[in-house]
């Protein structure tokens, strides 16, 4: 059982790390695109509209990732237990 708990913990940590990497990458990409395309907007109103739209995308995507991580933490044993069970069966270990 200890081995299973260690494997679940390792999988959960890896998924959390990947999710945060995605969030950071998304923010960096949106900031880069904003800077790179700033002069392409025809006027100040268009720039504000694009900033608001980009902010909404960032906020909702970040909130969705945080909700996913919360769900993974709450149901960690069930979610990762199933993954490990199927991985072991595919490898012929279980």
Q: pLDDT digit string (tens) for 24-70?
A: 999 999 999 999 999 999 999 999 999 999 999 999 999 999 999 99
Question: Is residue 86's pLDDT more than 60?
Answer: yes
Residue 41 DSSP one-character state: S
Give the whole-angstrom CA distance, residue 33 versus residue 76: 36
> What contacts 19, CB < 8 A, 6 or more positions away?
65, 68, 69
Question: Is residue 94's pLDDT more than 60?
Answer: no
Mean pLDDT across the stretch 85-90?
90
Question: Is residue 73's pLDDT more than 60?
Answer: yes
């Amino acid at each position: 059982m200890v081995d299973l708990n260690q494997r679940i913990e390792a999988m959960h940590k890896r998924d959390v790390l990947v999710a945060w990497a995605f969030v950071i990458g998304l923010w960096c990409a949106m900031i880069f695109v904003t800077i790179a395309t700033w002069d392409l907007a025809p006027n100040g109103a268009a720039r504000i509209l694009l900033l608001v739209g980009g902010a909404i995308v960032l906020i909702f995507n970040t909130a969705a990732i945080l909700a996913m991580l919360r769900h993974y933490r709450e149901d960690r044993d069930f979610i990762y237990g199933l993954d490990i069970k199927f991985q072991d069966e595919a490898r012929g270990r279980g």
